[in-house]
Structure 1
Amino acid sequence: MPLNQQQNEASPERGMPFANEIALQHGIHFEAKYIGSMEMGSSRPGARFEILAAMRRVRYEFKARNIKKRLVDIVIFSPNLGCSINLFLESF
């Protein structure tokens, strides 16, 4: 018997706002692992497979150089919709 899952009324699939304005004023925090960034060339990837190939290229380059992943805190806020990345001091 399948379970009835309740859907979030503010889900992105429904086209409604995910977070209210007060939460965006204070900032929404996400913890992530930062692998690295590099210049990919002059053209911006347009298709999904081009984006995935670029992500794999970044992962491969940083793995070949033996650079460790860093734990970061991504904050998205909305005075004019900004984003900041804070590095944690501890490494894993």
Structure 2
Amino acid sequence: MSAISVREFSYNPSAVFARVEGGEAVRVTRHGKVIAIVLPGDGPADRYADLVASGRIRLGTATSGDDAPLPEYALPPDAPDPVELLLAERDEDAP
């Protein structure tokens, strides 16, 4: 995953979006702090986009490096969403 500053992003957002369309994830930083992550609209990360946007989960740093892909798992079409099941269990266990 590459990183660019807000200033770089503001100069040419179309170029950043072209990179994202090509499958690259881009971190946008301000003063060295990540303030946004722009992800492709399809692929493994898409499943988690709504949860990340709502703040229910956070994308962590991969242990094998920033370029490590998210894992993909084949599920039957009628299977419940495993992330929703885990979040429901977490909410049940909360004090």
TM-score, normalised on structure 1? 0.30
- Comparing both chains, which one has the higher relative contact order based on Cα–Cα distances under 8 Å and sequence gaps of 6 or more? 1
Taking structure 2 as the reference length, the TM-score comes to 0.29
Looking at secondary structure, tell me which structure has more strand per residue. 1
| Structure holding more helix per residue | 2
Larger radius of gyration: 1
